[in-house]
Amino acid sequence: MTEQKLRARLYVNAELAGGGPVDLAAGQAHYLRNVLRCSTGDAVALFNGADGEWSGRIATLSRGAASVDLTEQRRPQESCPDLWLCFAPLKKSATDFVVAKATELGVSALQPVTTRHSDTSRVNLDRLRTIAIEAAEQTERLDIPAVLGPVSLTALLSDWPAGRVLLVAAEFGASRPIAEAVADVAGRPAAILVGPEGGFAQSELDGLRDLPFVHPVGLGPRILRADTAALAALSCWQAVAGDWRGRPPGRAD
Amino acid sequence: MTEQKLRARLYVNAELAGGGPVDLAAGQAHYLRNVLRCSTGDAVALFNGADGEWSGRIATLSRGAASVDLTEQRRPQESCPDLWLCFAPLKKSATDFVVAKATELGVSALQPVTTRHSDTSRVNLDRLRTIAIEAAEQTERLDIPAVLGPVSLTALLSDWPAGRVLLVAAEFGASRPIAEAVADVAGRPAAILVGPEGGFAQSELDGLRDLPFVHPVGLGPRILRADTAALAALSCWQAVAGDWRGRPPGRAD
């Protein structure tokens, strides 16, 4: 039986187990009804970050409310590799962009970090979480990256978890080309730290330099903007040490 | 002698040889005068894509006109690696974004390609060239990527230059993980081809599949937006086969 074409792929904060109907959020009802012009009976996919991806059909759809009858589990739950992005909040649109693109690139957690030269310390976590969910819906992820509350660089480093390497995209000390540095730490939980547009302060660089879990990495001879550096480093990590050896789900050869 | 802090780094379409003053464009005069609030005597850097980077001082600065007296060559000319990005034009802001970020990531040529499912076939080349110049100014490149006029995918492939490999970010055939595929073709002139948001048509994929210079590459199990795929592929190529083993100019250890 050919599966009916899916009209949407939505994240829900509800158990997905095949029992009763699953209620959607008001915004999702609006999206299905007014943007996609869906009708009851249309096929959608749901995921919740824990129970895999389920197909279902729109059971009820009205202004501000919708429910889905689950059909079957399409994919078992799987998670993105254990890779954090620690980033200094940038101007609003650049931060939004980093969160969306990092979610596409399969980051497992997003950690805003305030630094001496940060462009801003204000972070709207609700907004960033919404952006991460929308990016996950579009990219066929089955999990949503954790969007953590901002911490200072000092606090981040003093509470650093044992065993996790921190790749710092900053030109200091014995920074190594990123492909080599990432290959060396493949298989270990990792995080990438990218500073603000103004760069790290000298005292911050001095503090980072001596920490045993810090690996300075180089991103080549050009000066990259902070958002570009974040995406470039995430891409290299996924390609060399992450899960970019797999194929997208359901793609034919 | 400590060099005076540079107030700006500007691309000029003029010979840089240390003789007479170099005239700037009206927009650059406006930028120096009204945005940066520069005065005569302030230090700037100029480059033209051929003669390296020169330092100089603002000699004249008025509404709509400015000139710079060159001081000395700061860096000899060098060019980015021979890597093209062939991309289907996207919606306007996404195309702008791809051009700016690809320039930061050190692409040597940008080739818009129209495909069956392209989001648009309209490309404002003047606008894209301006964006590439601004990105090159900010990223300390000494060259400007060529921004070529749009061609059809068919024409691109039928006129493909001998010896250049084409890495196609599309999930078809025997696509290999990008890190492996790029390592295999390191040292050869290369291009990356990224399709439109709607993907390539089946007939386009069939046509690509059999070409000897085409190397399908995989970017992992998640579905990336077209702009994300372009930047991820460029980053991986630079890290594995490009010039990301070097350091930014003038950065202290």
Q: What ipTM, to 2 d.p.? A: 0.91
Q: Do B239 and A236 touch (CB under 8 A)?
A: yes
pLDDT confidence band for B92 (50 / 70 / 90): confident
Mutate to test the interface with B, among A75, A137, A235, A243 (most CBs of B within 10 A): A235
Taking CB atoms and an 8 Å cutoff, what residues of chain B touch A219?
239, 244
Residues B216 and B91 in one domain: yes
Q: What is the pLDDT of residues B37-76, one digit of tens each?
A: 999 999 999 999 999 999 999 999 999 999 999 999 999 9
Contacts of residue A54, Cβ cutoff 8 Å, sequence gap at least 6: A16, A18, A45, A46, A47, A70, A71, A72, A73, A74
Q: Supply the pLDDT for residue A249.
A: 52
Residues A210 and A92 in one domain: yes
Taking CB atoms and an 8 Å cutoff, what residues of chain A touch B236?
235-236, 239
pLDDT confidence band for B118 (50 / 70 / 90): confident
The total number of structural domains in chain A stands at 2
Q: Supply the pLDDT for residue A19.
A: 75
Residue B207 has pLDDT above 60, yes or no: yes
By the CB < 8 Å criterion, does B178 face chain A? Answer: yes
Kindly state whether residue A62 falls inside one of the protein's structural domains: yes
State which of A16, A40, A75 marks the end of a domain: A75
Percent of chain B with pLDDT over 70: 94
Q: Supply the pLDDT for residue B170.
A: 79
Kindly state whether residue B245 falls inside one of the protein's structural domains: no
pLDDT confidence band for B171 (50 / 70 / 90): low
Taking CB atoms and an 8 Å cutoff, what residues of chain B touch A176?
none
Interface list for A 7-36 with B (CB within 8 A): none
Q: Supply the pLDDT for residue B198.
A: 86
Q: Do A223 and B105 touch (CB under 8 A)?
A: no
CATH code where residue B112 lies: 3.40.1280.10
Kindly state whether residue B41 falls inside one of the protein's structural domains: yes
Residues B70 and B116 in one domain: no
Contacts of residue A216, Cβ cutoff 8 Å, sequence gap at least 6: A167, A168, A170, A171, A172, A173, A174, A175, A176, A181, A208, A209
Residues B55 and B95 in one domain: no
Kindly state whether residue B137 falls inside one of the protein's structural domains: yes
Residue A184 host element (H or E): helix A178-184
Going residue by residue through chain A (253 aa), what tens digit of pLDDT does each one get?
456 789 999 999 999 997 779 999 999 999 999 999 999 999 999 999 999 999 999 999 999 999 999 999 999 999 999 999 999 998 878 899 999 999 999 999 999 999 998 877 788 999 999 999 999 999 999 999 999 999 999 999 999 999 999 999 976 667 899 999 999 999 999 999 999 988 999 999 999 988 999 999 999 989 899 999 999 999 999 999 999 975 555 554 4
The CA distance from B28 to B8, in Å, is 10
A10, with CB counted inside 10 A (0-12, 13-18, 19+), is: buried
CATH code where residue B55 lies: 2.40.240.20
Q: Supply the pLDDT for residue A39.
A: 96
Interface list for B 210-229 with A (CB within 8 A): 218-225, 228
pLDDT confidence band for B2 (50 / 70 / 90): low
Kindly state whether residue B248 falls inside one of the protein's structural domains: no
Residues B37 and B113 in one domain: no
The CA distance from A77 to A64, in Å, is 29
Q: Decide: A81 and A238 in contact? Cβ < 8 Å.
A: yes
Residue B191 has pLDDT above 90, yes or no: yes
Taking CB atoms and an 8 Å cutoff, what residues of chain B touch A240?
179, 239-240
Residues B143 and B27 in one domain: no
Residues A69 and A89 in one domain: no
Kindly state whether residue A249 falls inside one of the protein's structural domains: no
Nearest to B234 by CA among B42, B84, B95: B84
Q: Supply the pLDDT for residue B110.
A: 98
By the CB < 8 Å criterion, does A197 face chain B? Answer: no
pLDDT confidence band for B172 (50 / 70 / 90): low
State which of B32, B56, B75 marks the end of a domain: B75
Q: Do B105 and A228 touch (CB under 8 A)?
A: yes
Q: Do B221 and A139 touch (CB under 8 A)?
A: no
Residue A127 has which token pair? 């907004």
Q: Supply the pLDDT for residue A198.
A: 86
Kindly state whether residue B249 falls inside one of the protein's structural domains: no
The CA distance from A207 to B182, in Å, is 36
Q: Which residue has the higher pLDDT, B119 or A235?
A: A235
DSSP B76-134: ------SEEEEE---SHHHHHHHHHHHHHTT-SEEEEEE-TT-S-----HHHHHHHHHH
The CA distance from B38 to B44, in Å, is 10
Residue B230 host element (H or E): helix B226-240
By the CB < 8 Å criterion, does B238 face chain A? Answer: yes
Q: Decide: A100 and A71 in contact? Cβ < 8 Å.
A: no
Please give, rounded to a whole number of angstroms, the shortest distance from the CA of B95 to a CA of chain A: 15
The CA distance from B21 to A133, in Å, is 55
Percent of chain B with pLDDT over 90: 82
Residues B95 and B64 in one domain: no
Residue B73 has which token pair? 């060559």
What three-state secondary structure class fits A145?
coil
Q: Supply the pLDDT for residue B173.
A: 63
Q: A194: domain range? A: 83-240
Kindly state whether residue B88 falls inside one of the protein's structural domains: yes
Residues B108 and B37 in one domain: no
State which of A47, A75, A103 marks the end of a domain: A75
Please give, rounded to a whole number of angstroms, the shortest distance from the CA of A71 to a CA of chain B: 23
Residues B14 and B132 in one domain: no
The CA distance from A57 to A77, in Å, is 20
Residues A136 and A177 in one domain: yes
Please give, rounded to a whole number of angstroms, the shortest distance from the CA of B201 to a CA of chain A: 14
Count of other CB atoms within 10 angstroms of residue A249? 14
Residues B89 and B209 in one domain: yes
